[in-house]
Amino acid sequence: MTRIEQIIEALDGECTGDSWIAHCPAHDDKQSSLSVAQKDGKILVHCHAGCSQDAVISALRDRGLWPGGNGQQPTQKQSKSRKPAAVFPIPDVAKTSLNKKLKTGKIYDEETETWMLICKKYGRAALYWKYHNAEGGWVFSVVRHEKSNGKVVLPYYYGKDKKWHQGQAYKTGRPLYRLHKLIASSDPILIVEGEKCANIQVSGYILTTWAGGSSAVSKTNWSWLAEREVLIWPDADDAGIKAAVAIRNCLPNAKILQIEDKPSGWDIADAVAEGIDPAKFIAECPIAELHEEPQGQKDDNDFFWAPTHGLAADILLAAFGNTWIFERHDSSGHGEFFCRVNCYYIIFGYVKSGCI
C-alpha cells in the first residue's frame, strides 16, 4: 500500500476524480474538509476549513502518515505495508462501502506508476457474488469487472480496519460458493467453473464453484463434498479439463462430463444461451474417463511419482476400491510406497494431505 493510499484510508477519504476529499486530522472534521492530491510524485494537502498546511502535515506526521522531506512519495518498496487481517463474518452494512469502493476508489497501477480509478483500470463492476462459510456468514466477495477488451474477476475482502481490500481473505482452505446451502441441501452437486455459471438453475442439482479459477483448485476446501454425489461440468478447454481432474483427485467419487464437439471454452452458460436444457444435456452426456497422470512429475521435495503394481498394490486396491497407488522415489531410486485414499497419501502411518 502506498503512502497516499494509507492517508486516504486512515482519514476515510473518498475519490472525487483526480483527487480525494477526507477528514482533516488537524481539527474535529465532520464535513470532509481536506483535499488530497498527488502531483509529480508529491502528496498535496489543503484544508478548506482553514487549517494551515503545516498544521495538517504535523497532524499526519503524528499519526505516522506523512513521509519525510517535502512530501515526496517514498519508493514502492518503502511504502508497502501489511494488509489488515480479514473480518469473519462481514457485516451486511459493509455492502454499501464495497459498492462505493468499486465506483470511486483508486488503486496504484505499477505499470504506469500512477493512481487510477479501479473502474478505469479493471472496468466497471458488472457483477459480484458473496462467498459464505459453513454457518452462512459472509466471508469475501468476488467481482467481475468488464471492459471493451475483456473481463477480469477479482476477490475483495473486508479488513479489521473496516475497509475493503482487493485480495483474497483465504490463502488456502477457501469455502465453496454457497457452501452453507450445499450443506443444507440433499440434492446432487454440480460443479461448474465461475460464479456466473454457478447461478444457472439446473433441475435436480444444486450448483457450486470455487474462487480463483482453474489454477486455484488446490486452495479450496473440498472436504464438505467427500460423501456427496458430485458431477463436474468442465469448461471445454485444456485448463477446464485439468481443473476437473484436479477436483476429482480430491473427490474420487466425482464424475466428469465428457464435453465433445464444442468450441474452446464452451461452458454451461453457453449451453443455456444456445437454448440447451442443462438437465437434459447432463442426462445424455457421457461420463469422461480421465485419470491422474503422475508419471515423471516432481513434488515440492524433488521426489518423482510413478504408478506402481504388484501384490501389495493389488491388496490395497481391493481394500480401498477407487484410489491411486504410487511409489515415490528420488533420483537415486530410494523412496517409499504410497496409496491415496480420499485425498490422502498414506504409507505405514505417514499421511500427506493432498487436497485439504
DSSP 148-215: TTEEEEEEEEEBTTS-EEES-S-SS-BPPTTHHHHHH--S-EEE-SSHHHHTS--TT-EEE--TT-GG
pLDDT tens-digit map of 85-142: 999 999 999 999 998 888 877 776 666 667 678 888 889 999 999 999 999 999 999 9
pLDDT score, position 229: 98
Amino acid at 159: G
State in Å, rounded, how far the first CA of the chain is from the last one. 31
Burial (Cβ within 10 Å: 0-12, 13-18, ≥19) of residue 9: buried
196 CB-side CA count, 13 A:
17
Q: Please indicate, yes or no, whether the overall pTM of this predicted structure exceeds 0.75.
A: no
pLDDT in tens, the chain (356 residues): 567 777 877 787 776 666 788 889 888 887 788 988 888 778 889 998 889 988 899 888 888 888 654 444 444 433 445 678 999 999 999 999 998 888 877 776 666 667 678 888 889 999 999 999 999 999 999 999 998 888 999 999 999 999 998 899 998 999 999 999 999 999 999 999 999 999 999 999 999 999 998 889 999 999 999 999 999 999 999 999 999 999 999 999 999 999 999 999 999 999 999 999 999 999 999 999 765 443 334 444 444 444 444 455 455 555 554 444 444 444 444 454 444 444 444 443 333 334 44
3-state SS class at 139? strand
Element (H or E) spanning 143, and its range?
strand 138-147
> How many CB atoms within 10 Å of residue 144?
19
List, in order, residues 6 or more apart from 53 with CB less than 8 Å away.
Answer: 45, 46, 47
3-state SS class at 58? helix
Question: Which residue matches cell numbers 440447451?
Answer: 276
